[in-house]
Amino acid sequence: MIYKTFLLLALSAFSLFGAEFESFVKYKVGYGIFTLGEAEASLTINDNGSYKTEVSAKAKGGLVSALSRHRVETYVSEGVVVDNMLIPYRFVKSSSYGNKKRHIEFSWDYDNMNILMESENCKDGDCKYSSEILSGDKYAKDDILTLYHNIMFDFNKTGAKEINASAIGSKKPVVIMLPEGKRLKTAKKTFDDKEGTYIIAILNQEIFTSDKGELYVNVDSDNTASKAVLKKTMLFGDVWGEQIEKRITGKRAAQQNGTNEGENLTKF
């Protein structure tokens, strides 16, 4: 479960949009005073309107890596940008650890409003394949990567403070909110009153000792997540992810930051 937590802490990394740019953010992830691993998130938008976004996580450190059997998990989403929204055509979840590998691919059929899910599970080189058509209640317009990008436009469009959403890659619907009242006070305390936008995602799944999985996110002025905290997950501390590297290049970066077109911007 800790590896899924790494991924969740990086999912909200991007709400950037515009013509032809690349973004990359890297996080260190841990709980309490311990650092357990790293998560990376990237988003590329091309001049032809296509996009690719990827999130990966891995344990870091000899003992932690060995105990996890050198587990690596990766999510990839590809599609097109329409009115600043990411429209997925293909979403892939893959993981490997020890002698096991798993690969699940989802392909959208917008004409028929369904999704083809193809799975491959391998152990010691012996692989089993399966497929299923997802429709009706199993269908969703977003994958778990595009959801966290597109939801910000839904907030701006509707003026809502709380949105329930489903996404391919998430077992249950999530609730995403712009906190008010007590939740806003908790968010400010969590991030030491750091400037930026606060977002809370209720993941509706048990994660360690947290019965719902409350993910608090602090978003910078450039719309990348500077820090995320998964509350009430451990007896001795929250699970956290903190930005340690960021690169934004291309036309949109130049427009946002007043630099020459294509200049590479790096922050630590």
* Token pair in block for residue 215: 């993910």
- Residue 188's contacts (CB-CB under 8 Å, 6 or more residues apart) are 198
Task: Supply the pLDDT for residue 209.
Answer: 43
Task: Supply the pLDDT for residue 9.
Answer: 56
CA separation (Å) from 188 to 38, 185, 227?
Answer: 25, 5, 12
pTM above 0.75, yes or no: yes
Q: What tens digit of pLDDT does each residue of 69-108 get?
A: 567 888 999 999 988 889 999 999 998 877 889 999 999 9
Please say whether the beta carbons of 99 and 124 come within 8 A.
yes
Domain that holds residue 166: 2-267
**% of the chain beyond a pLDDT of 70:** 76
The span from the CA of 14 to the CA of 179, in Å, is 19
Q: Which residues does residue 187 pair with via DSSP β-bridges, in sequence order?
A: none
Burial-class residue 132 by CB neighbours within 10 Å (0-12, 13-18, 19+).
exposed
Helix, coil or strand: residue 91: strand
CA separation (Å) from 254 to 221, 225, 226, 249, 268?
Answer: 15, 20, 20, 8, 19
Task: Supply the pLDDT for residue 253.
Answer: 47
Task: Supply the pLDDT for residue 63.
Answer: 46
Q: What tens digit of pLDDT does each residue of 116-170 get?
A: 999 999 998 899 999 999 999 999 999 988 887 788 778 878 888 888 888 898 8
Domain count for the chain: 1
- Residue 76's contacts (CB-CB under 8 Å, 6 or more residues apart) are 52, 53, 54, 90, 91, 92, 94, 145
Which residue, 233, 204, 223, 93, is CA-closest to 152?
A: 223
Task: Supply the pLDDT for residue 140.
Answer: 93
Q: What tens digit of pLDDT does each residue of 169-223 get?
A: 887 788 888 999 999 999 999 899 888 888 888 876 554 444 566 888 888 877 7
The span from the CA of 152 to the CA of 255, in Å, is 20
Q: Which of 44-58, 106-120, 240-254 has the highest mean pLDDT?
A: 106-120
Task: Supply the pLDDT for residue 268.
Answer: 28
Q: Kindly state the average pLDDT of the residues 38-54.
A: 89
